[in-house]
Amino acid sequence: MSAPSHSTTQQRTYRVAVIAGDGTGPEVVREGQKVLEAAAKAEGFTLAWEPHDFSGARYLRTNELVSDKDIEALRATAAIYLGAVGHPDVPPGILEHGVLLRLRFALDQYINLRPVKLYPGVWTPLKDKTPEHIDFVVVRENTEGLYAGVGGFLRKGTPDEVALQTSVNSRKGVERCVRYAFELTRARNKRKKLTFCGKTNVLTYAHDLWQRVFQEVAKEYPDVQTDYAHVDATCMWMVKNPEWFDVIVTDNMFGDIITDLGAIIQGGMGIAAGGNVNPQGVSMFEPIGGSAPKYTGKNVINPLAAICAGGMLLEHLGERHAAARVEQAVMRLTPQLKSLAAGQMGYSTTEVGDLVARYVAEWKAT
Ligand code: IPM
Ligand code: MN
C-alpha cells in the first residue's frame, strides 16, 4: 500500500498510470475513470492520471513494447490501471510476454489477486447458487512456476525434438505468496479458512515445497483454519460447493486456470477483475476479459469488470471508503441489468458508467 502524497492544499493526490491498451480497453477504462473520479470527489482526494500507450496497435506501428525507461516511469506512480492488451494482427505470445508478463515480472507483482464474488441479480451457470454461496478470493502466485520462462528445445524441428518447460518454485517466492494469503484471510475476517490448491500427489518436488511452507507459515496464524485440495478436485468443488471456499492460495499455472472457472461462476468476463500486486511496490489492476476486438467502438461492452478493478485499485491505495462506494454502487446496478454480456445489458457501456458514477456519488455510509 503506497502512502498518498500531499499537495499544498492538503488534498491527497495519487498518480495513477493508465494503460488503456487495445480493442475495448480504452472504452472500459474511460468508464472506470469516470467512476473513480466520482469516488475521489466524494471522499476528498485527487487522482492524477498518467496515460501510457503500451498496446498491440503501437507495437504494429513502432515495434516497441515496454522498455526499461517505461518501467522506471511506472515505478514513480502509485498504481497502474490497465484496460486490455491484445491485437488480432499480432501473433500470439508477443504482447503477453512483451507487455503483461513483462510488467508483472519487472515490477515484481508477485500476487495475482482474483476475487470471485457473485453480485445480486447476476446470472451464474451454477444451479441453486446465490450470492451467499459464491464469495471467495484466489491468491495466485504471479512471478514463478511455469511462467518463469525456464526451458528450451533439444533438436528443435527434427523428429527427435524435445521441449522442456520448467516450473520454478523458490522458497522465498512461495513463502511471500503464502504469507500474503494468510494475512488476507485474517484481514477478510469471514470464514477465516485458507485452502492450498496443489497437486502434491504428482508434483512431488514443487508442491512438496509449497506444502511444507504452507504448514510452517500456518503456525503463525492459529486463528486461520487451513485446508488442502488437489487442483482437479478444486475445480469440482468450485462448481459443486463454492461456499466451502474463503481464500485459495495456489501456484501461477493452476491459478490461471482456476480463476477462469472462478470468473464464469461469478457471471463471466463482464464482471471479473483482478490485481497484480506488489505489496511493497507498484501494483496493477485490470479487468481479466481481454480486448474483445469484435465489440470495439460499439459502446456495447460491459465496463463493470474494469470498474471493479478500479475499486480494487482504490482499496489498494488505502481509500477504503471510496472502494466501498464503488462496490456498493456496482451491487445497486447489477439487479437492473438484463445480462452482463456485451450488447445484452439493456444499457450501453457509457450508460453503465454514468449510472455507477451516480450511485457512487449518492452512496451514504450506514
Ligand atoms: C491472465 C491471462 C494471462 C496469464 C495471459 C494473457 C498471459 O490469461 O491474466 O490470467 O496467463 O496470466
Ligand atoms: Mn488467464
For a substitution probing ligand 1, which of 101, 104, 109, 139 has the most ligand atoms within 8 Å of its CB?
101
Average pLDDT of the residues of the chain: 96
pLDDT at 149: 95
pLDDT at 363: 87
Catalytic residue ranges:
147, 199, 232, 256, 260
pLDDT tens profile 194-244: 999 999 999 999 999 999 999 999 999 999 999 999 999 999 999 999 999
pLDDT at 84: 96
Q: Report how far residue 44's alpha carbon sits from residue 218's, in angstroms, rounded to the nearest whole number.
A: 39
234 burial type by CB count under 10 A (0-12 exposed, 13-18 middle, 19+ buried): buried
Residues shown for the chain: 366
pLDDT at 364: 81
Q: What's the Cα-to-Cα distance from 355 to each of 33, 38, 82, 109, 119, rounded to whole Å?
A: 13, 11, 22, 32, 16
pLDDT at 9: 55
Delimit the domains of the chain by residue range: 1-109+279-366, 125-265
Ligand 1 touching residue 96 (CB < 6 A): yes
**Contact (CB, 8 A) for 194 and 227:** yes
Domains 1-109+279-366 and 125-265 share a fold: yes
**What proportion of the chain, given as a percentage, has pLDDT over 90?**
95
pLDDT tens profile 29-75: 999 999 999 999 999 999 999 999 999 999 999 999 999 999 999 99
User: Does CATH number 3.40.718.10 belong to domain 125-265?
Assistant: yes
User: pTM of the prediction?
Assistant: 0.96
Question: Looking at domain 1-109+279-366, which CATH architecture does it have?
Answer: 3-Layer(aba) Sandwich (3.40)
Ligand 1 touching residue 362 (CB < 6 A): no
pLDDT tens profile 275-307: 999 999 999 999 998 999 999 999 999 999 999
- In this structure, the residue with its CA closest to atom 12 of ligand 1 is 256
pLDDT at 6: 52
For the segment 249-277, the average pLDDT, to the nearest whole number, is 98
Atom of ligand 1 nearest to the CA of 256: 10
